[in-house]
């Protein structure tokens, strides 16, 4: 079936898969947990705004938080219940920081909103479908949780010809995509057709690794039943990290994503298979992204298996569902053994991006080994799938020469951990690179903030200068006013008033005369006084003004 | 004789080229001051003894000020300045203050009497308010210079270290190499 020519990428590792532990057990459907937790922050960015309050009753599928930002899709309740609180709780994040979360006490009835899908997606424009994908809260389920609606909008200037569905689950232990493809192959293939329609692309390549025979068989059966001519199944070798986006693209197409570019630049869009199934559910069935398949595995859990669980389920509930911890349980890792991160507690919610919960037993993972000095063997450079020079990066990262590290393309590192794995000195290279990346970002941010502050300071200085000039100007004018008696504008106004008065009094008319006379008398004192003022020489004093003016008189008279 | 003539002609030619390019490609202002100013943290706090970062940069360029008078820049800032100027880095001078964690000013709004003194003191217009009305600090604009703290007659401004969020969090350095 591999009619497609396969390419390869530099480096990579053959790792012990540990897939059978979780993939032999059938897919379990998780129970409704007693409470659901929804962090308001989905990716690193701003919190979404909660649109429910404590005490509100919510239904399954109801939007509970949203934001105007196209990069933060709405969050939906994954079961019905009452909102208990919106409070700071620890987040499933390597930092261990807390953030605002909506906590829902479920009622167990699982009452759903009315879901309405579209009968024929071909009748919808790509923009409508993208909107639907956004509203369904769909993000990439492969691990990065990038909003799908953005990813399938490559822009008019990029022509996408190939959609790649990533079912190459290269990281050891993880089998959630395998399980999804085995159980719901039609959902994935139908989702792929919708994505093809949105992207207006010609073909779809669905990549699975050659150690996933059940998934491949299920996909082939589904293809036989329903056609899907535009979708081609491709078996790729199980080399870590084949499932990396850029690596998979180069294996399947031989094209390389340019530095700082995106796959759409070379006409490719890559999506996780889980995302495709979520798109199908959202568009055809109208169901938002409220559940996902997650692998619970490792020697620390009694029944390793894949679980279809609601987003927001506490990790402790998932462990419980899988028979609980064994005596061996030692470390809790979210994600796989290569790229996952340790979490200190199981009192954390399942998020959209969590594909695996690994409960590691004793000595199951490479622990923190004593690292030794680098011997410059170069094994890391051979293993690096991005063709970087990890040892150079390591020197520069360690000696704080971040600029040099950037010159060696630090930001192209995908943090796959291959270099760590092969390093004979057990140097935690990826940790060094992550720290260096963090420093570079922090430095850039500080620089931006400083530039902004400088700009504001300069604007303030120039404003103060201007105010000073204006004050000096007005002082000068005041002085001038004192000198001439009146400001030129006032003099002009008086002149105009005088003219008007002259016009009025000049033509004496019949009937209205007596009334006019009265009016005249009423206003005359003031105007008379003014006209007298004007009539006198500029140097002479006004009657109303006080001593100051009279003191100022000598100056103009001298000028005169 | 010819050699002398040729050399003189060349001198004249090069002189013309140099003279022309000196006018044509003239650099406005002092580029060194700009470079120093770009390294300074732009807190505009005046702890260095100069009224703002730019004046301090000018003083360094003139040789009137030392490179270790900027506490907000910290040791890192001193090293960056030393690199730029080709001198030896030195520890931060204690008389100008100590390096503190990045902070932002917060006004206790229940105590604020609306005197506008802090608004006048703020070098980056980060305080919003009007006479006899409550004032508040725009946190994203605050540089943490502390210049607003002293003028407040009711002592309602305090400095709070900036909280770490997911957006500002970064991976820690791995533990030191074991020997």
Domains and CATH numbers, chain B: 31-96 (1.10.15.40), 103-161 (3.30.70.20)
Cβ contact, residue pair B168, A438, below 8 Å = no
| Beta carbons of A163 and A280 less than 8 angstroms apart | no
Alpha carbon distance, N-terminus to C-terminus of chain A: 108
Contact A431 B173 (CB under 8 A): yes
Residue B178 is nearest to which of A371, A439, A459, comparing CB atoms?
Answer: A371
Q: What whole-number distance in Å separates Cα of residue A482 and Cα of residue A487?
A: 8
- Alpha-carbon gap: B175 to the closest alpha carbon of chain A (Å): 9
Nearest-CA residue of chain B relative to A428?
B174
- When the pLDDT of each residue in chain A is averaged and rounded to a whole number, the result is 87
**Mean pLDDT in residue range A171-181:** 94
Does B47 sit behind a cis peptide bond, omega within 30 degrees of 0 on the bond before it?
Answer: no
Distance CA A8, CA A382 (A): 14
Q: What does the pLDDT look like over A17-26, one tens digit per residue?
A: 889 888 888 9
Q: How far is A431 from chain B (nearest CA, A)?
A: 6
Residue A462 touches chain B, beta carbons under 8 Å: no
Q: Provide mean pLDDT across the span A189-218.
A: 93
Is the per-residue pLDDT at A134 higher than 50? yes
Q: CA–CA separation, A38 vs A63, rounded Å? A: 11
Q: Is residue A69 part of a domain?
A: yes
**A375/B contact by beta carbon, under 8 A:** no
Q: Looking at the DSSP assignment, which residues form a beta bridge with residue A206?
A: A165, A233
Which residue, A360, A395, A416, sits at the end of a domain? A360
Nearest CA in chain A to B141: A453
Determine the Cα–Cα distance for residues A503 and A375; give it in Å rounded to an integer. 105
Given a contact cutoff of 8 angstroms between Cβ atoms, the answer to whether A410 and A433 are in contact is yes
Half-sphere exposure of A449 (CA within 13 A, CB side): 16
pLDDT of residue A538: 42
pLDDT classification of A260: cutoffs 50, 70, 90: confident
| Shortest alpha-carbon distance between residue A53 and chain B (Å) | 24
- What tokens were used for A459? 């604007």
Please give the pLDDT value at position A226: 85
pLDDT score of A539 = 42
Q: How many domains does the structure of chain A reveal?
A: 2
* pLDDT tens digits along B89-148: 888 888 888 888 889 999 998 999 999 999 999 999 999 999 999 999 998 899 999 999
Q: Tell me what pLDDT residue B100 has.
A: 86
Q: Name every chain A residue with its beta carbon within 8 A of the beta carbon of B40.
A: 450
When scoring B141, B177, B178 by the number of chain A Cβ atoms within 10 A, the one with the most, hence best to mutate, is B177
Give the end of a domain, one of A292, A326, A360. A360
User: Would residue A165 count as lying in a domain?
Assistant: yes
Q: Is A456 on the interface with B (CB under 8 A)?
A: yes
**How many contacts does A have with B, using Cβ atoms within 8 A?**
83
pLDDT surpasses 70 at A92: yes
Assign A507 a pLDDT band (cuts: 50, 70, 90). Answer: low
Which residue among B52, B54, B164 sits closest to A97, beta carbon to beta carbon? Answer: B164
DSSP state of B125: -
Length of chain A: 560
Q: Measured between CA atoms, how close is B177 to chain A, in angstroms?
A: 6
Of A55-69, A119-133, A260-274, A491-505, minimum mean pLDDT range: A491-505
Round to whole Å and give the CA distance between A437 and A435. 5
In a domain, A160, yes or no: yes
Range of the domain at A179: 20-360
Read off the pLDDT band of B165 (50, 70, 90): confident
Contact B170 A438 (CB under 8 A): yes
The per-residue pLDDT for A367 is 66
Residue B159: partners with Cβ closer than 8 Å, 6 or more residues away: B103, B104, B105, B106, B144, B146, B149
Percent of residues, chain B, with pLDDT higher than 70:
97
Q: Which residues of B touch A456 (CB under 8 A)?
A: 124-126, 141
Read off the pLDDT of each residue in A439-443 and give the average, rounded to a whole number.
92
Q: Round to whole Å and give the CA distance between A413 and A14.
A: 19
> How far is B148 from chain A, CA to nearest CA, in Å?
15
Nearest CB to A435; choose among B52, B166, B172 = B172
Return phi, psi of residue A349, to 5°.
-85, 155
Instruction: Give the H/E segment covering residue A91.
Output: none
Is pLDDT above 80 for A551? no
Cross-chain Cβ contact A432/B124 below 8 Å = no
Mean pLDDT, residues A424-450 taken together:
92
Interchain pair B123, A460: CB under 8 A: yes
Interface check B93 vs A, CB under 8 A: no
Look at residues A360, A390, A412 and tell me which one is the last residue of a structural domain: A360
Q: How many angstroms separate the CA of residue A91 from the nearest CA in chain B?
A: 10
Q: Check residue A52 and give its pLDDT.
A: 95
Task: Please list every residue in chain A whose beta carbon sits closer than 8 Å to the beta carbon of residue B123.
Answer: 457, 460
Flag whether A368 is in a domain.
no
Asked if B85 contacts B68 with a C-beta cutoff of 8 angstroms, the reply is: no
Cβ contacts (< 8 Å) between B168 and chain A: which residues?
442, 445
Q: Please identify among residues 26-45 of chain B the ones whose CB lies closer than 8 Å to any CB of chain A.
A: 37, 40-44
Distances (CA, A) of A170 to A142, A379, A434, B10: 11, 21, 21, 70
Residue A403 lies inside a defined structural domain of this protein: no
- Pairing mode, strands A305-310 and A28-29: parallel
- CB of A97 within 8 Å of a chain B CB? The answer is yes
**Cβ–Cβ contact B143 with A under 8 A:** yes
Banded pLDDT at A554 (limits 50, 70, 90): very low
**Could you tell me if A94 lies within 8 Å of chain B, comparing CB atoms?**
yes
Q: Which of residues 99-138 of B touch A (CB under 8 A)?
A: 123-126
Place A438 in a pLDDT band, splitting at 50, 70 and 90: very high
Percent of chain A with pLDDT over 70: 88
What pLDDT is recorded for position A104? 96
Helices then strands, counting H and E runs in chain A, come out as 18, 17
Q: What is the mean pLDDT of residues A102-127?
A: 92
User: How does the average pLDDT of chain B come out, rounded?
Assistant: 89
User: SS3 string of A320-355?
Assistant: HHCCCECCCCCEEEECCCCCCEECCCCCCECCCCCC
User: With pLDDT > 90 as the criterion, what percentage of chain A qualifies?
Assistant: 66
Which range among A209-213, A235-239, A289-293, A501-505 has the greatest average pLDDT? Answer: A289-293
A539 near B CB under 8 A: no
Residue A6 belongs to some domain of the structure: no
**Enclosing H/E stretch for A102:** strand A98-106
On chain B, the residues whose CB falls within 8 A of the CB of A435 are 170-174
Of B124, B168, B172, the CB nearest to A453: B124
Average pLDDT of the residues in B158-166: 88
Interchain CB contact of A366 with B (< 8 Å): no
Angle at A340 between CA A445 and CA A368, to 5 degrees: 95
Q: Which residues pair with A307 in a beta bridge?
A: A28, A294
Residue A508 confidence (pLDDT): 56
Predicted pLDDT of residue A480: 79
The model's pLDDT over B3-25, given as tens digits with 9 standing for 90+, comes to: 999 999 999 999 999 999 988 88
User: What is the per-residue pLDDT for A285?
Assistant: 94
CA of B119, closest CA in chain A: separation in Å? 12
Band (pLDDT 50/70/90 cuts) for residue A5 is confident
Our CA-based measurement puts residue B42 at a distance from the nearest CA of chain A, in whole angstroms, of 5
CA-closest candidate to residue A356, choices A299, A416, A306, A320: A306
Mutate to test the interface with A, among B169, B171, B177, B178 (most CBs of A within 10 A): B171
DSSP notation for A237-274: ---BTTTSHHHHHHHHH---PPTT--GGGGTEEEEEHH
For the record, the structure tokens of B100 come out as: 């503190």
CA distance B121 to B143: 13
Nearest C-alpha in A relative to B41: A450
Is A95–B164 a contact, with Cβ atoms under 8 angstroms apart? yes
Residue A353 has pLDDT above 50, yes or no: yes
A85 touches chain B (CB under 8 A): no
Q: How many CB atoms lie within 10 A of CB A478?
A: 11
Q: What confidence tier does A559 reach under pLDDT thresholds 50, 70, 90?
A: very low
Task: Confirm or reject contact between B141 and chain A (CB < 8 A).
Answer: yes
Q: Does A239 reside within a domain?
A: yes
Q: Are B135 and B112 in contact (CB under 8 A)?
A: yes
- Which CATH number covers residue A227? 3.40.50.11540
A560 vs A467, which has greater pLDDT?
A467
């Amino acid at each position: 079936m591999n009619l497609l020519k396969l390419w390869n990428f530099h480096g990579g590792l053959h790792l012990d898969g540990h897939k059978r532990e979780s993939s032999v057990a059938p897919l379990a459907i998780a129970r409704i947990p007693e409470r659901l937790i929804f962090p308001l922050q989905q990716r690193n960015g701003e919190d979404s705004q909660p649109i429910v309050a404590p005490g509100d009753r919510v239904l399954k599928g109801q939007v509970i938080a949203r934001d105007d930002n196209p990069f933060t899709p709405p969050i939906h309740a994954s079961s019905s219940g009452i909102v208990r609180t919106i409070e700071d709780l620890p987040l499933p994040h390597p930092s261990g920081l807390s953030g605002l979360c909506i906590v829902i006490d479920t009622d167990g009835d699982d009452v759903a909103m009315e879901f309405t899908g579209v009968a024929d997606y071909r009748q919808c424009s790509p923009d409508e479908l993208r909107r639907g994908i956004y509203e369904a809260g769909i993000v990439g389920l492969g691990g990065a949780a990038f909003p799908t609606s953005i990813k399938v909008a490559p822009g008019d200037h990029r022509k996408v010809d190939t959609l790649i569905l990533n079912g190459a689950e290269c990281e050891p232990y993880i089998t959630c995509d395998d399980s999804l493809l085995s159980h719901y192959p039609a959902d994935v293939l139908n989702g792929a057709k919708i994505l093809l329609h949105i992207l207006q692309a010609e073909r779809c390549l669905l990549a699975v690794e050659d150690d996933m025979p059940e998934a491949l068989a299920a996909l082939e059966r589904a293809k036989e039943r329903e056609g899907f001519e535009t979708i081609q199944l491709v078996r790729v070798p199980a080399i870590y990290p084949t499932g990396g986006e850029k690596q998979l693209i180069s294996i399947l197409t031989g094209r390389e994503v340019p530095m700082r570019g995106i796959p759409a630049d070379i006409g490719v869009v890559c999506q996780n298979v889980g995302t495709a199934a979520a798109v199908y559910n959202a568009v055809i069935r109208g169901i938002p992204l409220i559940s996902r398949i997650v692998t619970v595995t490792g020697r620390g859990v009694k029944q390793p298996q894949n679980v279809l669980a609601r987003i927001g389920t506490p990790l402790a509930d998932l462990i419980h569902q899988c028979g609980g911890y064994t005596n061996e349980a030692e470390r809790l890792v979210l994600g796989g053994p290569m790229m996952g991160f340790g979490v200190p507690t199981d009192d954390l919610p399942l998020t959209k991006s969590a594909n695996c919960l690994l409960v590691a037993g004793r000595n199951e993972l490479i622990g923190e080994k004593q690292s030794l000095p680098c011997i410059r063997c170069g094994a890391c450079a051979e293993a690096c799938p991005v063709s970087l020079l990890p040892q150079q990066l390591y020197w520069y990262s360690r000696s704080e020469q971040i600029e040099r590290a950037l010159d060696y393309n630090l930001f192209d590192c995908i943090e796959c951990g291959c270099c760590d794995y092969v390093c004979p000195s057990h140097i935690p290279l990826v940790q060094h690179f992550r720290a260096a990346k963090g420093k570079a970002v922090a430095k850039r941010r500080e620089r931006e903030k400083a530039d902004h502050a400088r700009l504001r300071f300069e604007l303030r200085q120039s404003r103060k200068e201007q105010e000073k000039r204006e004050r000096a100007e007005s002082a000068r004018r005041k002085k001038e006013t004192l000198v001439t008696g009146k400001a030129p504008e006032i003099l002009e106004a008086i002149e105009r008033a005088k003219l008007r008065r002259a016009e009025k009094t000049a033509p004496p008319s019949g009937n209205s005369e007596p009334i006019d006379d009265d009016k005249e008398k009423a206003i005359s004192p003031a105007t008379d006084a003014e006209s007298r003022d004007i009539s006198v020489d500029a140097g002479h004093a006004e009657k109303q003004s006080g001593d100051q003016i009279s003191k100022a008189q000598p100056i103009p008279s001298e000028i005169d | 004789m010819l050699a002398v003539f040729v050399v003189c002609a060349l001198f004249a030619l090069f002189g013309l080229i140099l003279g022309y390019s000196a006018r044509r490609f003239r650099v406005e202002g002092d580029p060194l001051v700009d470079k120093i100013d770009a390294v300074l943290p732009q807190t505009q706090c005046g702890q260095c003894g100069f009224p703002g970062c730019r004046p301090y940069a000018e003083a360094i360029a003139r040789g009137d000020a030392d490179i270790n008078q900027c506490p907000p820049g910290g040791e890192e800032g001193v090293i960056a300045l030393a690199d730029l100027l080709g001198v030896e880095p030195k520890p931060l001078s204690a008389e100008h203050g100590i390096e503190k964690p990045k902070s932002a000013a917060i006004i206790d709004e229940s105590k604020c009497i609306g005197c506008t003194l802090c608004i006048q003191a703020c070098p980056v217009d980060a305080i919003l308010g009007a006479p006899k009305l409550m004032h508040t600090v725009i946190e994203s604009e605050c540089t943490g210079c502390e210049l607003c703290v002293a003028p407040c007659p009711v002592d309602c401004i305090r400095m709070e270290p900036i909280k770490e969020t997911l957006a500002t969090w970064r991976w820690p350095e791995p533990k030191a190499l074991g020997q």
